[in-house]
Amino acid sequence: MGGWTVTGGRDSFERHRERLASLTSWDADWSGLRVVVTGIGVSGFAAADTLVELGASVVVVDGSVTERTQAQAETLRIVGAVDVLLGPDAVQALPLVEGELPDLVVTSPGWRPDQAVLAAAARKHVPIWGDVELAWRVRSRRGKKTAAWLAVTGTNGKTTTVGMAESMLRAGGLKAVAVGNVGTPILDAIREPVEYDAFVVELSSFQLHWAESLSPVAAVVLNVAEDHVDWHGSYESYLADKAKIYRNTQKAAVYNAEQIETERMVEEADVVEGCRAIGFTTRTPGLSMVGVVDGLLVDRAYIPERRDHAAELASVADLGEIAPRHMVANALAAAALVRAVGVEPVAVREGLRNYLPGDHRIQPVATFDGVVWVNDSKATNPHAASASLAAFGSVVWIAGGLSKGVTYDELVARHARRLKSVVLIGVDSSDLAGALKRHAPNVPVIRIDPGDTEGDRPDGASIMARAVERAADAAGTGDTVLMAPAAASMDQFASYAQRGTAFIDAVRRLVEGKAQSKE
């Protein structure tokens, strides 16, 4: 298929559109398709590698020039005829592929629609897919089982939910893997020789923005709250992208019965005929829901006698040492998804017992002198931090960082009564500091000097060590020191994981020092 332009005539445009529409399996004719891939990170690399294997002509662009991007570029050049353009100039305009306008752009999730390459593609009417859209189109391959997709999105809890669902599926004897935004590119899983029964696909709002053809067996929006407004442009646009997960759902559109926005998404979704709406709630479930009764997770959705009975799935105690309300909600959502593909209650329970929570998510770090230290660095927005704060009584809260355009008034007002003290980190946490002044004026606020912010990123380990020391001074018997920043980490740390690790290391040094001083 040669390059094309709108000025080339309607026939050219229609032929192009028809060919792209025909690309719905691995075995379709991808040869000669001219594709620009934006980004050479995990998902971009997987997309480029896949397209080369399919026979497409590929140009990859990425604005950074680092050892990692250069190594990725060299690998792509070795495995196939890929032209890789790196550096700021590479992402200022839509490149040609083999001297002609590309037929398609495949973008990595984090690239905003107004980025120069993507904006140019839109102006020139070049279709833009995300890596998940590409994955959906190549999921079927002659002679190989096609895995069922269970799709998960939400402002918070996605990674936990897909991990729980994966564990339940495996306990039920199915070959399953968690993929997508959780870390393993779905394209890599599709290309593995393993014949999976199911993919549990974690989808960010960015990935959903660029996805149009998905038709999962079951899908869930766990929750929604103001987040990534800087990327989407408005909260309404963010919600609209989240809601796309329900489009063409085949069997179960799972929603949060305690949040009306997700229920409305299901009501307005154009699903496959026969698809059921399944609610989950941490309260007593109604008909066609899963929920909690007397400490038990129960099912009133997937059993024949659901009008009068409920099937026991597990107990709250099966979730481990700390089981806050949002963790119970995640478990119920995961159960609702896997029950849609026939997983039995006994496997739901076994899956929860086998599930190992990821680091930096309501992670107990230490208990010393009556103080509990908890790492929830994954709480990168107010909604996630609110769920963490709700799990504890008297809290010394370590918070702050890159706010991503959100506000903190509702968060602080809701939890002011449980705050004993607040330790603020972050280069600029003035938004959070202002909310604390307005809604918790009597709560002591300790500001950690961000240090020199010119040039390289500040020394995050040193910043966190000082925050932990000041939190220890403020905490007493019965308190919880909770590091749930309600903000992104990139102003002072490389990632939320590095921030969490810095907290763990600082707490352990503090506890070891105190223990030695008592000997």
For the chain, domain boundaries: 6-134, 144-354, 363-518
| pLDDT for 131 beyond 80 | yes
Q: Tell me the pLDDT of the chain averaged across its residues.
A: 91
| pLDDT for 138 beyond 50 | yes
Angstrom distances, CA of residue 442 to CA of 389, 392, 419, 445, 473 = 18, 19, 10, 9, 18
Q: Which residue has the tokens 């029964």?
A: 197
Q: What is the pLDDT of residue 229?
A: 67
Does domain 144-354 correspond to CATH entry 3.40.50.720?
no
Distance CA 129, CA 53 (A): 18
User: Structure pTM?
Assistant: 0.78
pLDDT in tens, 317-327: 999 777 888 89
| pLDDT for 17 beyond 70 | yes
Q: Treating both helix axes as pointing N-terminal to C-terminal, what angle do 158-171 and 325-339 enclose, rounded to 10 degrees?
A: 50
Q: Is 159 annotated as a binding residue?
A: yes
Q: What is the pLDDT of residue 291?
A: 98
Q: Is 157 annotated as a binding residue?
A: yes
Q: Is 156 annotated as a binding residue?
A: yes
In which band, very low, low, confident or very high, does the pLDDT at 16 lie, cut at 50, 70 and 90?
confident
| pLDDT for 304 beyond 80 | yes
Asked if 86 and 38 touch (Cβ cutoff 8 Å), the reply is no
Mean pLDDT, rounded, for 275-300 = 97
pLDDT in tens, 427-466: 989 999 999 999 999 999 999 988 754 445 567 889 999 9
Distance CA 480, CA 369 (A): 11
The answer to which of 172-176, 230-234, 505-509 has the lowest mean pLDDT is 230-234
Distance CA 64, CA 86 (A): 6
pLDDT in tens, 55-68: 999 999 999 999 99
Q: Is 87 annotated as a binding residue?
A: no
Q: Write the CATH number of the domain with boundaries 6-134.
A: 3.40.50.720
**Main-chain dihedrals φ then ψ at residue 258, nearest 5 degrees:** -100, 5
Distance CA 116, CA 422 (A): 41
| pLDDT for 348 beyond 50 | yes
| pLDDT for 385 beyond 70 | yes
- CATH of 363-518 given 3.40.50.10490, 3.90.190.20, 3.20.20.70, 3.40.190.10: 3.90.190.20
Q: Is 354 annotated as a binding residue?
A: no
